[in-house]
Amino acid sequence: MGCCSGRCTLAFICGMQLVSVLERQVIDFLGYQWAPILTNFLHIIIVILGLFGTIQFRPRYVTGYAAWLVVWMTWNVFIICFYLEVGDLSRALIGFGLDKEEKF
């Protein structure tokens, strides 16, 4: 067994991301959630470009993939914190400072 290079590791990570986002895409199609379907489709395209850049030694594609990955992870952390109601995040974004009785 040989040691895996950084290129091989990045290709493995891209492959695993592709599998997980395709699974999530199927679930979103079942629920007719169109905004996540579109963002997942964009993520699939960028992961494929990152995989292509890794295999073909295209640093520009890998850099774009890395930048997108930071944005994607930040968005996912925000969504997790929003749904877990960490702090006053959900009240600040949804209620805009209104009382519960004033929300519709």
Q: What is the pLDDT of residue 99?
A: 54
* Average pLDDT value for residue range 29-54: 87
* Higher pLDDT, residue 2 or 60: 60
Q: Do the beta carbons of residue 76 and residue 21 sit within 8 Å?
A: no
Provide the pLDDT for residue 82.
Answer: 77
How confident is the model over 72-81, as a mean pLDDT?
85
Report how far apart, in Å, the C-alpha atoms of 18 and of each of 14, 96, 102 are. 6, 36, 43
pLDDT of residue 92: 62
Task: Report the alpha-carbon distance of residue 16 to residue 5 in Å, rounded.
Answer: 17
